[in-house]
Amino acid sequence: MRDYPLQQRTIGHLLADKAERNGAKAWLLWKDARYSYADLHEMTNRYANGFSSLGIAKGQHVAVMLSNGPHFLFVVWGLGKIGAVAVPLNTAAKGELLRYFIDQSRSSWIVVGEEWTDRIDEAAAGLDELKGFVYVGDPRGLSAKGKPTIDLRTFEALSSLTPPVDAVRYSDPHLIMYTSGTTGPSKGVVSPHAQAHAVGRHLVQHLGYGAEDVLFTCLPLFHGNALWYTCYPALWADATLAVVPRFSVSQFWDDIRRTGATQFNALGAMVNLLLKQPPSEQDRQHRVRQSMALPLSREVFNEFSRRFNLKVTSVYAMTETFPVTIFTHRDPVEKGSSAGKGRGLADIIIVDDEDQPLPAGKIGEICIRPREPWIMMLGYYNMPEATLRESRNFWFHTGDRCYIDADGYLFFVDRTKETIRRRGENISAYEVELLVAKHPGVLEVAAIPLASELTEDDVMIYVVKRPGAEIAEQELIRFCSETMPYFMIPRFIRFADVLPKTASEKVEKYKLRIMAEAERELLWDREREGVTISR
């Protein structure tokens, strides 16, 4: 791996150097297209110059709502070359939540794919700071409210001259990525250029990716998993990146074989879905040697690695951080259910409720402190109180409960924050409750996680009706479908007369979780009822 000093860890510096060194080598495989390192540098230059022609300058925020594909990377890295800040949006966002992302980030322009123009047009109505729209494909319902609209593809005919790389510093903001709120709205994590490069550099150093590798992702590029933990390592390793539109359990191994992939990242639900497929003589007919997954149980770890003949790796990381710990292909398999151990980027401690350090084997909150500059978030955008709260006592408090064994391996236990983890999405219980409570028949609502058959959680809500209100579960689901991203929509519903509360009127959610597990068969379950959700 060619290393770069901190001062050169910007996307502009790396792409220029990689294009010079790798030239015609394949960088991206997408459907039937192949883009070289030289193509990547040239296209991101054209996009950078296109955004500059619109008056977008260093420090301005641009929301990006695009599906997987080359355009996503050309946009985000083109913006990065001029020092503009990309705000990747979850393509499932809609209504008030989508409007919140655009407004709270103070985005001045929106780049949007044709699938989402109707949704963007509604969410962006009346936002005065918004200057215009850049669209891909047919703008259809995009009325733009008198603001300029630009076809992104016109950028491809512009100059390919490189913007001045020294105008952007490693410490400058590169991305604002939204992470689930807990007791409040979602927070925009402001990430400097050097943070993403720390991820790529560190994974290549410890997982051994090289120029002969093909790193594959079927996960959404607007999430850190695909963008930071696949795209940036591929760049640092001089490897090839393979991207497909989405995960399909029936198509997955065909995509792996077609692209010649040697590595992929998997969510826990993906692993379980792949293991549920009937065994096949083709299970080992691929080039994959490593798969990074969230920590798996020992049984699943062993079954997955044995059946598909690959090494399973893992990390502990957050949008706010970097790979705090890594489980590598060289670590002992008996530690396979861990997230690995620290590899030098951070000091790590486990603390109790009073922030006092705990000894090995004791469960508490994991707190970290980076050992290198600019490898962590700059803070939560326009949320100084939240930034200070999570960084108290000179440690970043993750909100995750873990323990570290006597050998230094980190084991995840659960979350202290009110976050529901569903198939790779971190869902704010607060935001679920906020949106459900807008139904005129709802008096109170409490959202909790309920263990899923596919690992992680499903969303469950307890609802207290207003006096005299008549609400059916399917009606509530229809209401949620109009206001929530599909992944936030509750699977389980239970109507209650009252919610258990403390003397200070705080809902005792731990009691609700115990109740839900005890009466699981009595809960209304939209999957059991055959209610389908449109994306």
Q: Crossing angle of helices 473-483/429-436, nearest 10°?
A: 110
Residue 156: its pLDDT value, please? 95
| Residue count of the chain | 535
User: At 455, is the pLDDT very low, low, confident or very high (cuts 50, 70, 90)?
Assistant: low
> What CA–CA distance (Å, rounded) separates 171 from 518?
50
Q: Does domain 6-22+33-170 have CATH number 3.40.50.620?
A: no
Residue 473 clears pLDDT 90, i.e. is over it: yes
pLDDT attached to residue 502:
63
The two structure tokens encoding residue 289: 């040697």
The two counts, helices (H) then strands (E), for the chain are: 15, 27
Q: How far apart are CA 303 and CA 169, in angstroms?
A: 45
In order, the DSSP letters of 286-330 are S---EEEES---HHHHHHHHHHHT-EEEEEE--TTS--SEEE-TT
Report the relative pairing of strands 346-351 and 364-370 from DSSP bridges: antiparallel
Single-letter residue type at 231: C
> CATH 3.40.50.980 residue ranges in the chain?
6-22+33-170
The rounded distance, in Å, linking the Cα atoms of 200 and 15 is 13
Computed over every residue of the chain, the mean pLDDT equals: 92
Non-local (6+) Cβ contacts of 209 within 8 A are 203, 215, 233, 234, 236, 237, 239, 263
Q: What is the pLDDT of residue 263?
A: 98
DSSP symbol at 169 = -
Do residues 368 and 347 touch, judged by C-beta distance below 8 A?
yes
pLDDT at 511 over 90: no
Distance CA 77, CA 125 (A): 27
Residue type for position 199:
V
Per-residue pLDDT band for 329 (boundaries 50, 70, 90) equals: very high
| pLDDT tens digits along 391-407 | 999 999 998 889 999 99
**pLDDT band for position 150 (cuts 50, 70, 90):** very high
User: Domain 195-415 carries which CATH code?
Assistant: 3.40.50.12780
Rounded-to-integer distance, Cα 163 and Cα 43, Å: 12
What is the mean pLDDT of the segment spanning 127-143? 91
At 510, the pLDDT band (50, 70, 90 cuts) reads confident
pLDDT tens digits, one per residue of 485-501 = 888 899 999 999 988 87
pLDDT bin (cut points 50, 70, 90) of residue 479 is very high
469 to 191, 442, 483, 522: CA distances (angstroms): 46, 8, 20, 22
Single pTM value for the model: 0.85
Q: Which residues in the chain are classed under CATH 3.30.300.30?
A: 419-525
What is the sign of the dihedral through the CA atoms of 78, 84, 90 and 91? negative
When pLDDT is cut at 50, 70 and 90, the band that residue 183 belongs to is low
Q: Does domain 419-525 have CATH number 3.30.300.30?
A: yes
Question: What are the pLDDT digits (tens) for 19-44?
Answer: 999 999 999 999 999 999 999 999 99
- Quote the percentage of the chain above a pLDDT of 70: 97
- Asked if pLDDT for residue 351 goes beyond 70, the answer is yes
The CATH 3.40.50.12780 portion of the chain extends over 195-415
Q: Within a 10 A sphere around the Cβ of 287, how many other Cβ atoms?
A: 15
Going through 385-496 in order, the beta strands assigned E by DSSP cover 396-404, 410-415, 419-422, 425-428, 442-451, 457-465, 492-495
Characterise 399 by phi-psi region: left (phi > 0), alpha (psi -120 to 50), beta (else).
left
Q: Given a cut of 90, is residue 105 above it in pLDDT?
A: yes
Residue in 89, 80, 20 with CA at minimum distance from that of residue 44: 80
pLDDT of residue 184: 66
pLDDT per position as a tens digit, 514-524: 899 888 888 99
Alpha carbons 81 and 50: distance in angstroms, whole number: 12
Cα 178 to Cα 7, 159, 388, 457, 478, distances in angstroms: 27, 33, 17, 20, 26
Contact predicate 364/375, CB 8 Å = no
